[in-house]
Structures are given as structure tokens and as C-alpha cells.
Structure 1
Amino acid sequence: MLGLILLVQTLHVVIGGPPTSPEYLPVRAAEMEGYFTREGLSVDVHSTRAESGAAEALAQGQADIAATSFEAMLRFGQRPGGPTAKLIFGLTAAPPVALLVHASHAERIRSPRDLAGTRIGLTSTGAPEQAWLMAILARAHVNPAQVDLRSFGARGVAAALDAEEIHAGFVPEPAATQLVGDGRARLLVGLTSPRAVAEAVGGPTVNAGVFVRADRRPGDRELSAFLRAVLAAERLLATEPAAALAARWPQPVVGVGDVFERRLETTRSIYLRDGWVSTDAVLHTVEIVRAHLPLPSTVRVPPPQQLLFLEPLKHAR
């Protein structure tokens, strides 16, 4: 009977970024595995090319739920005088990348404190992970003006590090693990678990999450059902062999070759436990975002507790 009641309204969900992104995989997995249907929900999932697009879709009323980054929601999901976007579920603490140093420089560069005067590679200037790099440098008391940041694209940063075009690089998984495993690079800072992120930046954070608008959110019972499906998907990702998932999921999600399997094996630990986000994590993340690039003057950031709506999650666990 519950399923029949919940099926009355279709939930329109927008996910930011490419289908291969591990940060939003639990939401995609919940759809692909039929977990939303099992919870009695009708869910229509769409993707946007960038996380900013998902934040804007929620702000413009084109989506009931958005899975995107906290920074994107702050910058693009808030309208002057408009309703506040509420975080209902935390997915990850930071982008799943690792700060690596080329093996030939490993003796000289032993920690982030040694990065002054070096060339550091990123996928692109302004990429989501840049805010986290700035936080790592700040914690190490390295002024951003003391490093030379260079952009190489998602695949290019690993190649640039391997070719010694840069001293260090923020390399996505699974390329980071492969470079370290082959002895071509050494790990300085890894961001592939909430605990590692907290140690790297000095406190709890949230990066990817699930958001609703305060003024037109779905009912609490629907949101709890939605989040139960996402939690079930996270449990699946933690235990199911990657090869089995790759065999039954569509090509846009798994990509080509064994990349999906290697990516999943290196990112299983990135998810926040039970989707829970504290006010301290919100406050710290706002500070990291602002320190990286000031928010527009038109954006008013409410107190941390007003950015969270965790009641549906409490009833979903």
C-alpha cells in the first residue's frame, strides 16, 4: 500500500557531472538496480555535464532533487532572496583524488610543506578539487603564490606527472593508485576516505551531496524512501565484485575496458558513513570554498544548521 501511495508523484532528479563519476554512483546505482522502484518511488533521472548545471536546475525548479557538489550549490544553487537549498544526504567528503609527487622528487618533497616553488598539475584551473588543494596548502602554511598551478585535463595530469612536466599533481583515481603502485610516484595526500580528508584539511567536510529546495521539497516519507535506496546502493558498492556490476550496468557508466573495475576498487571508501553530515562539516566546507574563491556578493550563506535537513535520513537508516 505504501508503494502505491508513493508512486503518485514522479521525483525529478538531476545528477551533476559525467556518468562515470564515482561520487554520484550510489544515486545512479539505486536507479540501475531498481532500488527506487522497490521503495515504491517513481524516479526520473537526468544528468548535466557539470555540477553547476545540477545546482542551477534545482534553483530554477527544474528538479525536485539534485546530486551535486556543495560548492556548486553554494555558487549556483542559491538565488538572491530565493529559497535555501538543503543538504539531505552527504555522499563524499572531498573529490576522490590524490596529491602525488614524482618519484624523482620524492626525497626532496616529503610533505605538502615542501611544495613551495614547485609546479603542481590539476585537471583544470577552477576544477572542484582546486579548493581542496588550496586547503591542503593552507594547512601546510604554503602560500598559493609560491606554487605554479598548471592544467592538463582529467587524463593529462597523470601523464604530465609521469613525464616530469610537473613536480606534483592532483591525480584522479584509479590513475593515482596505478602510478604509486608502479613506483613512478609517491603519495603525499590521499582524499579517498572521510578520515583521510579530515586529516589533510584539519576537520570534517562534505563535497558531493543530495539537495532539495526548502520551499518545494518532496514529502519526508518520499525522501526517506529515496535515501533508503541510496543507502542500499552504497552497501552494494561496498560489497559487490566490481566485475559483476560492470557486466550488468550500461556502458556510459562503466566506460571501456577495466577502468570501471579499477576505479571502483580504489574509491569504495570515499563515501560518508550513512550519509551523515555534521554542522561542523558544513561550516568547515564553507570556509574552504570561500578561501579558494570568494562567493558572489549576492549569495547569502545561512548558518550551517539551516543548510541541513536530515530528518528524512534519520528515518531512512
Structure 2
Amino acid sequence: MNLAKLPRRKYSYGPTPIEYLKNLTEHLGGPEIYIKRDDLLGLTGGGNKTRKLEFLVADALAKGADTLLTCGAVQSNHCRLTLSAARKEQLDCHLVLEERVPNSYHRNSNGNNFLFNLLGTDGITVVPGGSNMLEEMEKVAEKLRSEGKKPYIIPGGGSNEIGATGYVACAQEMMMQLFDQSLDIDCIVTPSGSAGTHAGLTVGMRASNNPIPIIGISVNKDKETQEGNVYKLIQKTADFLNVENAIDKSAVNVYDDYVGPGYSLPTEKMTEAIEMLAQHEGILLDPVYTGKVMAGFIDLVRTGYFSKGQKVLFLHTGGSPALYDYTSLFQ
């Protein structure tokens, strides 16, 4: 598995830090807690989609695209970063936004919507929750083609085998950092949403015969559905990269207890988790992804899933710009 053979754009420079969260560790009284700061990746506001876009945009450019077309929820971090990459590469960018919560899109709202406007999209299409997003993007793509454009469709979250390769690369980066720091991690906790991050991380670790358990905390789907989605993408990514080691489905472990009433809908535990990390470590999380994932992690610590003396690494996938559209929760 030689990732250097793949086309790649560079939007970040150097590995993101792994920090020891001393204050949070002492506050919770459980395992030693470390955090991988992928919120500090490049492009506008950083986050995990930056790693995926390095491979996806390179593929788009190799295929002669002049337009990036992608989709997400109305406060989509992925859409923000795809638009940012498009501006950097001087490509057009069109977004298809899904109102997963009815009437939740407001053009002049804060958070990522503000950044869509600031970065300057070339078009936004808003569709109802539950729409077939690939079909909706293809409608926009067909219109663009009729105008002489060459659109490149990026799936939601950048989560196909090309995008997931960004987190295969991240797994390699992590292993080198852990070796350099003589840090023996017992478990990795990752957000599990559109599946690309979770799947790529698993392929990267298992392809290198690294058995560190990976726990995914779902932000949208039930355990059975999410584990199935992650494993399908693991298989596609492993095939894409010609990984010889078979990866067993037992490598996929998802907790679905922290989704709450639905995707992007607030929970008390999420609010507590965001306040706790901000006030103890000065690190911002977001309400849709990392806030709920940290809430799940905190609950696993409190209920004794992790024992004192263990070392656990939390993957911070970014998203904090969305926080500014949820300020009423913290007032």
C-alpha cells in the first residue's frame, strides 16, 4: 500500500498535534486522555474533511473538472471545506443542502452558512430532508454540463474510497507520532457519521497490522446500520488501495446511544461536553459531531468502560464554526 502513488493536493503542512488533556483527565478521574487535533488542519476552519479533499480534489483536477459539486446538511462542515478548496484551486463550487430539520436553512444565518456567503458559492440548491442526495446532485450536474461546465461530484462527507484514503494516511501519521512519543494507546475514539473517517482509520491501522481498538460514536444512525455502512466503505477502500490483509467486520464497533432525538438536534450531554472541554482545556467542539462524540466518550469514562491507567486517544474532527449557529444553547 503506497499512498505516494496517488494524486494528492496539500492543504495542511506537518502532522496535527496529539495533546495530553491533563485537566480533563483529572476532572473525570478515569483513563489518561489524549486528543488528535484534526480541527487544526488546513482550509477554512479546518476539520477532517480537509484530509479527504486532498485526494478528492486531486482526482477532480486529474479528470479535468472545473467545478466541485457536493452536498450536506444546512450547517455542513464538509460543504464549507469543499468550497474553501474550490476557492484555493480557482474552481467553481455548487452545494446541495438538505434540510434534515424542516425549515432549518436560512441564507443569512451564522456558522457555516455565514462562511458559505463569505467564501462565495457559485450556487446553492436546498432540498427537503430525506431526499436522494446523489440524484439531487446529478440534477445540478446535468444543468452545469448543459452550460459547458465539467462538474466533479463529491459524495456527502467526502466519504467514498478516495476520500477515506485521507484517513488511511492519517492512521499512518498517528502511528509515527505514537512511536516518536513512546505512547502506547489502548483505544481510539472517533466520530462515525458519513463513515469515511471511521473506515479510513480502520483500513490504515489494520493494513499495518496495528490492533488498537477503534470505537466509533454515531452522530446519526443506529448501531447496526452504521456498522454496516462503515464496513462496506472499509471493503471498498481496501480494494481501492490493494490492501492484502483481510479486515474482519469485528474491527467495526459503533455506539449509537448519543445521537439523541436526531442528527444535529441538541442533547444536554452534548452541551455539557462542549462546556467541559472549553472550560477545562480551552478547546472548542461542535454541536453536531464532536460535541455528541465527546458526550459519548465522557459517558463511557463515567460508566467504567475505560479503566484508570488506560490511555485513550480522541480524534477531534473539527467543526467548531458550526458552533456559532447554536449560541442560544450556551446562554
Structure with the bigger RCO (C-alpha within 8 Å, sep 6+) is 1
**TM-score (normalizing by structure 2):** 0.29
